[in-house]
A and B are shown apart, each in its own frame.
Chain A
Amino acid sequence: MQELSLNILDIAQNSIKAGADLVRIEIEIDRAENRMRIAVIDNGCGMDEATLERVVDPFYTTRTTRKVGLGVPFFKMASEMAGGQFSIRSAPGEGTAVEATFQWDHVDRMPLGDMAATYCSLVMVSEGTDFVYTHRVDGRSFTADSREFRAVLEGVPLSAPDVQAFIRDYIRENTEEISGGAYE
């Protein structure tokens, strides 16, 4: 993975497969504290303790067609090589919360990348799941909430091209605004 937004897309796919109807994606950047936190929190089926212990192991997967599962280990690695910490909390029936922190100015911290593209890809192909994306930078924040978008759209699909373009620009412009600079 070359940018963290791709790890987020990948981790959120697990939430969709877990049957979540709501996925919260949180990004918090605190430049004074030199810290970034990324969380993907879903209300899907969750995991029992035995499974939870194994998901960070690259040689564990729920799939039966192959023997490796690299999504979670990649994200963990991205965080740990940038001086951060990684955790997963989960319980059957209660959903899963994946959280990673990063040292903001660490030389090995990958760029966040194109979160607008990640969000658009997620809502384009998952009609049954809503995504609430909150982006905070130094205390300022904005939220993109697919439930709000759907309420306005009254049946016009989130995958409609004009809607996709709107959501992409909405995220880009708001991210620029709260970051006080160009979109990453």
Chain B
Amino acid sequence: MKSLAELQAIKEKMKGSIGLREEDKNCKRIVVGMATCGIAAGARPVLTAFAEEVAKRGLTQDVMVSQTGCIGICQYEPVVEVFVPGEQKVTYVKMTAEKAARVVEEHIVGGNVVKEYTIGASAK
């Protein structure tokens, strides 16, 4: 059974490795829509997948995963917006956990938008 003693050990291990992330202009942001429409369409596993993928690649200092409400395109949920400083916002639609992993790999790390998942490709 897990106990708080185990959490204590996690803290000891991580203390020092956690630099306070500066909420500065250089931080990339991944924003998951978590309103009723998003949640009903499957946003919870998408949020988890982004957080895990970012962590797995050791990017937690450079990439912020956060949530927002409904942005008004409910039929495309789960919707995820990616903000890279100096570039145009990219809106990904009908996201899944699998697609999230690819967006982190190709867009966040590689710098190439995964065009086929964007709202532009989907609306055609």
Contacts and interface: CB of A to CB of B under 8 A. Distances in A.
Interface of A: 1, 6, 9-10, 13, 17, 63, 65-66, 69-71, 74, 117-118, 120-121, 124-125, 148-149, 152-157, 159-164, 166, 169-170, 173-174, 177
B7 A166 contact: yes
B96 to A, nearest CB: 15
Interface string B48-61: 10011001100010
What is the interface of chain A mostly: helix, strand, loop, or mixed?
helix
The 7 residue pairs across chains A and B that have the minimum distance between CB atoms? A161-B55, A71-B36, A170-B2, A125-B67, A152-B7, A162-B10, A65-B72
A159 B51 CA distance: 8
Contacts of A65: 70, 72
Interface of B: 1-2, 4, 6-8, 10-11, 13-15, 18, 34-37, 39-40, 44-45, 47-48, 51-52, 55-56, 60, 65-67, 69-70, 72, 74
Nearest to B4: A152
Contacts of A174: 1-2
B48 A125 contact: no
Given A13-B35, A124-B65, 20 more contacts: A1-B39, A6-B39, A6-B44, A63-B69, A65-B72, A66-B70, A117-B45, A120-B48, A124-B47, A125-B47, A152-B7, A156-B14, A157-B18, A161-B52, A161-B56, A162-B10, A163-B7, A163-B10, A166-B2, A173-B2
